[in-house]
Amino acid sequence: GQQVMQIPQYQHVQEGEDFTTYCNSSTTLSNIQWYKQRPGGHPVFLIQLVKSGEVKKQKRLTFQFGEAKKNSSLHITATQTTDVGTYFCAGRSNFGNEKLTFGTGTRLTIIP
């Protein structure tokens, strides 16, 4: 079945440093979504990418969808303590399966 892996699993950064998480799918995706889950909270939708090579920005967050639509990345510039949490990518296979498969997540910790 479809697998979606994220690296790194954990990341500790000093406040103000940049952070990137990478998402890789075993199959071509029709679209990819990103979610953020704060400690003790629930996943919250951030963004969806649909087109090959698409880049979207939300303030300090930059999301990218790979040309082959099998990978994606989330980059945070100048991290802040409010960025703490686990970031998940989630993708739907191109093969008509309706299921959204979540990545393994990257847990971000900020050192003040």
Partner 1 sequence: DTAVSQTPKYLVTQMGNDKSIKCEQNLGHDTMYWYKQDSKKFLKIMFSYNNKELIINETVPNRFSPKSPDKAHLNLHINSLELGDSAVYFCASSPRLEPYEQYFGPGTRLTVT
Q: Is 105 in the site for partner 1 (CB under 8 A)?
A: yes
**Residues 95, 110: contact at Cβ < 8 Å?**
no
Q: How many residues bind partner 1 (CB under 8 A)?
A: 22
Round to whole Å and give the CA distance between 64 and 109.
22
Q: Is 100 in the site for partner 1 (CB under 8 A)?
A: yes
**DSSP E strands, the chain:** 4-7, 10-14, 19-25, 29-37, 43-49, 55-58, 61-65, 71-76, 85-93, 100-102, 106-111
Q: Is 102 in the site for partner 1 (CB under 8 A)?
A: yes
**Site map 46..85 versus partner 1, x via CB under 8 A:** --x-x-----------------------------------
Cβ-based neighbours of 26, under 8 Å, separated by 6 or more: 2, 3, 4, 70
Q: Is 5 in the site for partner 1 (CB under 8 A)?
A: no
Q: Is 44 in the site for partner 1 (CB under 8 A)?
A: yes
Q: Is 98 in the site for partner 1 (CB under 8 A)?
A: yes
Please report, as ranges, the residues that interact with partner 1 according to CB under 8 A.
Answer: 30-31, 33, 37, 41-45, 48, 50, 86, 88, 92, 98-102, 104-105, 107
